[in-house]
Amino acid sequence: MEWYEALVFLLGMILFFMALGVPVALAFLAANMIGAAYFMGGRGDIASQMARGIGQLANNAIPTVTSFNLMPVPMFLLMGEIFFFTGLANRMFGAVDRLMGKLPARLSFVTVAGGTAFATLSGSSMGSTALLGSLMVPEMQKRGYKKHMAIGPILGTGGLAMLIPPSALAVLLATLAELDIGDLLIAGIMPGLMLAIFYAVMILGMALYDPSAAPAYEVESSDWVEKLRLLFVDILPMVSIVIGVILVIMFGIATPSESAAFGCLGVIVLAALYRSLTWEGIVKSVAGALKVTTMALLIIFGSATFSALLAFSGASSGLIRWATGFDLEPITMLLIMFGILLVLGMFMDQLSMMLLTVPIFFPLAQTLGFDLIWFGVIVLLALEISFTTPPFGLLLFVMKGVSAPGTSMRDIYVSALPFIGCSMLLVALLIIFPGIALWLPGLGQ
Amino acid sequence: MMRLIDRICDLLAILAGIYLVGIMFGIVISALARTLNLSGSWSSHIFTFTEFGLLYIVMAASPWLVRHRGHVFIELLSAALPRRMQRSYSRAISALCVVICLTLVWYTWGATARAWRFGDAEMRSLDMPKYLLLGAMPIGFGLMAAQFLRFVFGPVTMHTGEAGVHE
Amino acid sequence: EDRVSAVHAFPEFLVYTKTFLAMVADINERGKGIVQIDVRGGPEAIGMFEQPAAVRDGVVDMVHTPGSFYGANVPEIDAMVASRVTPMEARANGGAALMDKAHQERFNVRHLGWVDGGIKFHIYMNSEPKFRDDGILDLTGVKLRDNPIYHAFFEQLNATTASMPATEVYSALEKGVVDAAAWTEIGIPQLKWNEFLKYRVDPTFYNTDIGVIFNLDAWNALSPESQKLIQDVVIEWEGKSYADRQAEVAADAKTLADGGMSFVSHSAEAGETYRKMADDSAWARMYERIDGGGAGAETYMALRKAYALAE
Ligand code: NA
Ligand code: NA
């Protein structure tokens, strides 16, 4: 099979099963079984090919699913659910409401600010989305925010986690591409903060354009004594958990992946101090976290082998070599590489994408005369966007899992689009003004 | 019979929930032990079993999640069909899910048996026999198949067919 | 013309993979009309720890992988880990043939050769190493990144071991979650761990055990010319890659020294004890796995004779 036939065959199967209405995880597994029997079946008759290929699928799932790198997902989910079901979240956002007064769409801004703060401590986009999603979405829907005002900012800021250090993915990219790790991490800071500002500006725009999207409900005004009380009793203790988690990382007590468990425990202790820790609340929190964890991990189970099949069959490397084989202007080549990352990103996980594209893209970028750190930031942005591109973006499914019933996949796809637009705008700005990425690392030299 | 299977699935989900909470404490304990220079083989084993836990949790809780329709799917064709055909269509897709799960049961069982025969091990802080990991798959997918059967024959269907791209 | 499918365990940027790809190119060049090897990819195509079982089961024909990845299946691998001889010496003294035999019997694959041999391990630390009264390294209070391969050795040095994914080691060293790690003589500058690790403990211990394994059924289906060509080229590369890596060992040592890393050495006598402690822990693991006191006694003694320090 030629690479383009393999590509059409594999992508066609997954889209077919998903369109039928088979659960996403099973759609992947069904496509994988057929693909694995065909490509990984080795020699022999069809029965032995099925046994070999599908057996390989089962074996492939073990290292993918049992990886500590995934730990932030269940832990941050649990943390967010406990925050919510113990009523601590309600308390905190009630206080935020009263402190921020009449600012429209204030909880969306809180999401961006919280998401950005969170990105600085978490290296995991999925973990960050899981926490913010399970924490903010129920509160915002309760207060009458339209779905896209809640979902969009969370999806957007989830991606910040891999741009702003610490970022496991940035370290990995720098290692694979033989870049200076410190430089790439630092280069991500300014673009990450700019992206957060873009998000804020866009939310303001959306709130002004459609005021009903973020209802301007009345809040009791309060005097400064009351405001101080709110700040110290209802907000600072909650914020201290986040600060505590950052400190646990800073002082080398825990790695970023481990820190989520500390946050979880911190919330439980805090809830106990506020006397709002109930057995019912704990059971509901664990059940909620379990649901989304299981859903997301089963999709990862299926998609890992799908990525492997795209690689093993030669479909993805064929696409990459074909598209980068043209002799065009540097800027066109850059856009082609960016486009390939977006296309692969619809169906592949980030790690597999890096392993496939880095050995081809970075030498090519060097011959084209690009600054490799700058190029690395653009690749990170493409990877970040790919987390939220339909049909297969893991953050979208995590979001679906934490949203209220009645939130459709289309709601989530539509909510993600403006924020993908912000990332695209940033890429354009990076191309015009490379200093956005290169100024900070340049200072250190 | 279905009642018994439901109880088994509930029990597995409860165990998965307990494991999840256990992971949280396990991570905190082993990180603190490392900071205080108290860690050793035992804390490496905790690390290993938090990792393995992710597979056990997903396999144990998936059947329960099927019953609660918690696995994300996209309603495209099911919503485009005329109303009177929607229920039978949804039942047919659920039957397809049963077939997918049963196929997985068959071949993951085969992989488990092969791992057992060759003595394959997942070598982390300890040599974990691979059949103990792979073996979770035929059980999990088997119970999932049983739960999908409910949407083939039971009163409730999996898809709602209500909004364009739904659930 | 025979067609062979292959995968490699490591990403393409690592020197080991470069060796393998160059070796494959060599085979394909000399094998025109006889045999052609089609490399299907690295860990993105089949997970790195799943590749050994994949070649055994016939998903692919040939895999380039460290033996430790399937050490539970072929415990004899530890002879290479604890080896005091070069790959070429092990081939001359019959060790390589024993290794191949064990692979065929236990794992349904042929072990064609031990490539990129001669690379050993160091412990690297961010603080000055301390030594016990008997002159052996004392890791009391030192948090060391754990690895199943050397865990038993680290315990004897009284280290606080900590497990974490390789992707987290860089930030763990940065934040002091761990203070030390063991790694090969080459590769530290690429990983940038020398930003935080300032001391290297000498001497080295253990060896890399990267080999080329080939599904036995697929091997038997090859023409005799193909078999001979592939086997000959792999043996040539055993020697060639050994020499190439020695040059890199020297180059990386210079990079580290120029970057300010101090090399702290045991005394000659304590250093030999230190190496032997490491070796003994690997031999003990093999002894236990193959029942070296009973059914595996003959194999165990033969491997010791071929690979271990002459006693
Ligand atoms: Na981050
Ligand atoms: Na995507």
Query: How far apart are the C-alpha atoms of A170 and B1, rounded to whole Å?
Result: 51
Largest CA distance in chain A: 80
Q: Mapping DSSP to helix (H, G, I), strand (E, B) and coil, where does residue C129 land?
A: coil
Tokens of C64: 């380039």
Task: Verify whether the Cβ–Cβ distance A74 to B23 is below 8 Å.
Answer: yes
Cis peptide upstream of residue A391 (ω within 30 degrees of 0): yes
Q: Span A424-440, mean pLDDT?
A: 91
**Which candidate from A59, A74, A253 shows the least CB-CB separation from B31?**
A253
**pLDDT confidence of residue A246:** 77
* A26 to B97: CB separation less than 8 angstroms, yes or no: yes
> C18-32 pLDDT, tens per residue?
999 999 999 999 999
Task: Tell me the angle at which helices A72-85 and A88-100 cross, rounded to the nearest 10 degrees.
Answer: 70
Residues in chain C: 311
By the 8 A CB rule, do A370 and A358 touch?
no
Mean pLDDT of C57-65: 96
B112 touches chain C (CB under 8 A): no
**Residue A9 structure tokens:** 């065959």
A291/B68 CB distance under 8 A: yes
- For A35, A303, B144, the CA distances from A31, given in Å and listed in that order, are 6, 10, 18
- For residue A92, the SS3 value is helix
Letter string b/e over residues C252-285, b meaning 16 or more CB atoms within 10 A of that residue's CB: bbeebeeeebeebebeeebbeebbbbbbbbbbeb
Is residue B27 less than 8 Å (CB to CB) from chain C? no
Interface test with B, best of A20, A70, A245 (most B CBs within 10 A): A20
Over residues A25-45, the mean pLDDT reads: 91
Q: How confident is the model at residue C184 (pLDDT cuts 50, 70, 90)?
A: very high
Half-sphere exposure of A107 (CA within 13 A, CB side): 33
Q: What are phi and psi of C193, to 5 degrees?
A: -70, -20
Q: Which two tokens stand for residue A257?
A: 């992946």
According to the model, what pLDDT value does residue B123 have? 86
| CB neighbour class for A218 (10 Å; exposed up to 12, middle 13-18, buried from 19) | exposed
Task: Enter the tokens of residue C209.
Answer: 């055990």
Q: CB B34 to CB C68 under 8 A? A: no
pLDDT of residue B163: 42
Cis check for the bond before C189: say yes or no (omega within 30 of 0).
no
How many contiguous H segments (helices) and E segments (strands) does chain B have?
6, 2
Return the domain boundaries, chain A.
Answer: 1-66, 71-292
Q: Cβ separation of C192 and A180 shorter than 8 Å? A: yes
Distance (Å) from the alpha carbon of A83 to chain C's nearest alpha carbon: 28
- Going by DSSP bridges, is the β-strand pair C120-125/C180-184 parallel, antiparallel, or unpaired? antiparallel
pLDDT of the residue at B166: 35
Mutating which of B52, B58, B144 best tests the A interface, going by the most A Cβ atoms within 10 A?
B58
The residues, any chain, with a CB within 8 Å of residue C59's CB and separated by 6 or more, are A40, A41, A42, A52, A53, A56, C46
Round to whole Å and give the CA distance between C107 and C100.
10
**DSSP 8-state symbol, A180:** -
Task: Give the gyration radius of chain B's Cα atoms.
Answer: 20
Residue C311: pLDDT band by 50, 70, 90 thresholds?
low
- In this complex, the chains that touch A, judged by 3 or more CB pairs closer than 8 A, are B, C
DSSP secondary structure string for all residues of B23-57: HHHHHHHHHHHHHTT--SHHHHHHHHHHHHHHHHH
pLDDT tens-digit profile of C80-135? 999 999 999 999 999 999 999 999 999 999 999 999 999 999 999 999 999 999 99
| Other Cβ atoms within 10 Å of A142 Cβ, number | 11
Computed over every residue of chain A, the mean pLDDT equals 85
Give the mean model confidence (pLDDT) for residues A54-62: 92
Measured between beta carbons, the chain C residues lying within 8 angstroms of B127 are: 72
Partner-chain contact A175 C192, CB within 8 Å: yes
Helix, coil or strand: residue A227? helix
**B55, two tokens:** 């597979």
Q: How far is C293 from chain A (nearest CA, A)?
A: 33
Q: Answer for the pair A60, C44: CB distance below 8 angstroms, yes or no.
A: no
Which chain C residue's Cα is nearest to A360?
C12
Mean pLDDT of A411-434: 91
pLDDT above 90 covers a percentage of chain B that reads: 68
Q: In what order do the strands lie in the sheet with C35-41?
A: C35-41, C2-8, C62-66, C210-215, C109-114
Using the mean position of ligand 1's atoms as its centre, give its distance from the Cα of residue A123 in Å: 4
pLDDT value at A47 more than 60 = yes
- Tell me whether C13 touches chain A (CB under 8 Å): yes
Query: Are C164 and B47 inside 8 Å of each other by CB?
Result: yes
Tally the C-alpha atoms within 13 A of residue B4's C-alpha that lie toward its C-beta: 1
User: Judging by beta carbons within 10 Å of its beta carbon (0-12, 13-18, 19+), is residue C29 exposed, middle or buried?
Assistant: exposed
Is the Cβ–Cβ distance between A298 and B58 less than 8 Å?
yes
C34 near C225, Cβ under 8 Å? yes
The answer to whether B125 contacts C146, with C-beta atoms less than 8 Å apart, is: yes
Give yes or no for a contact between B115 and B68, defined as CB atoms under 8 angstroms apart: no
Average pLDDT, chain C: 94
C215 beta partners: C109
Question: Which C-chain residues 29-58 have CB contacts (< 8 A) with chain B?
Answer: 49, 53, 56-57
Residue C7: list chain A partners with CB under 8 A. Answer: 312
The 10s digit of each residue's pLDDT in A247-303 is 888 788 888 788 889 989 999 999 999 888 999 999 999 998 999 899 889 988 988
Q: Residue C34, exposed/middle/buried by CB under 10 A (0-12, 13-18, 19+)?
A: middle
As a whole number of Å, the end-to-end CA separation of chain C is 48
Nearest chain B Cα to C106, which residue? B118
**pLDDT for the residue numbered A81:** 85
Please give the tally of structural domains in chain B. Answer: 1
C73/B38 CB distance under 8 A: no
E strand map for C143-224:
143-145, 160-162, 180-184, 199-207, 210-215
d(CA C104, CA C215): 9
Using CA atoms, how far residue A348 sits from A207, A307, A386, in Å, is 34, 5, 9
Q: Compute the average pLDDT of residues A339-358.
A: 82
The SS3 of residue C167 is helix
Are C177 and A253 within 8 A, CB to CB? yes
Q: How far is A102 from chain B (nearest CA, A)?
A: 34
CA angle C266, C271, C277 (to 5 degrees): 130
User: What per-residue confidence (pLDDT) applies to A91?
Assistant: 82
Please tell me the pTM assigned to this model.
0.90
- Give whichever of A105-114, A325-334, B53-62 has the largest mean pLDDT: B53-62
| Chain A closest-CA separation from residue B131 CA (Å) | 10
Please give the DSSP secondary-structure letter assigned to residue C309: P
pLDDT (average), residues A193-222: 82
DSSP codes of every residue in A25-91 = HHHHHHHHHHHHHHHS--SS-HHHHHHHHHHHHHHHHHHHHS-GGGTHHHHHHHHHHHHHHTTHHHH
Q: Do A40 and C59 count as a contact with CB atoms less than 8 A apart?
A: yes
Looking at the predicted structure, is the pLDDT value of residue A114 above 90? no
Whether B29 and chain C come into contact, CB under 8 Å, resolves to no
Binned at pLDDT 50, 70 and 90, residue B167 comes out as very low
Please tell me the distance in Å from B150's CA to the nearest CA on chain C: 36
The interface predicted TM-score (ipTM) is 0.90
* List of chain B residues whose C-beta atoms are within 8 Å of the C-beta of residue A286: 17, 20-21
Which residues make up the environment of ion ligand 1, defined by Cβ < 5 Å? A 119, 123, 161, 164, 167
Look up residue A216 and give its two tokens: 């301007």
By residue range, what is the domain housing residue B26? 2-153
Q: What is the pLDDT of residues C261-276, one digit of tens each?
A: 999 999 999 999 999 9
Whether residue B160 is contained in a domain is answered as no
Query: Dihedral sign, CA of B21, B26, B31, B35?
Result: positive
Q: Helix, strand, or coil here: C300?
A: helix
Contact B16 A71 (CB under 8 A): no
Q: Mention every residue, 6+ apart, whose C-beta is less than 8 A from residue C280.
A: none
- pLDDT band at residue C188 using 50, 70 and 90 as cut-offs: very high
Q: Which ranges of C95-215 does DSSP label H, i.e. alpha helix? A: 95-107, 151-156, 166-175, 188-191
pLDDT at A120: 67
On the question of pLDDT at A349 being above 80, the answer is no
Task: Work out the pLDDT band at B162, boundaries 50, 70, 90.
Answer: low
Distance A346 CA to ligand 2 centre (A): 4
Contact yes or no for A234/A92 (Cβ under 8 A): yes
Separation CA A93–CA A140 (nearest Å): 9
Beta bridge mates, C65: C211
Q: Name residue A362's amino acid.
A: F
Tell me the two tokens of residue C44: 């993105």
**Which residues of chain C have a CB within 8 Å of the CB of B126?**
148
Question: Token pair of C163, please?
Answer: 């497990």
Q: Are strands C130-131 and B121-123 parallel, antiparallel or unpaired?
A: unpaired
Q: Which residue has the higher pLDDT, A41 or C212?
A: C212
Q: Which chains touch C (3 or more CB pairs under 8 A)?
A: A, B
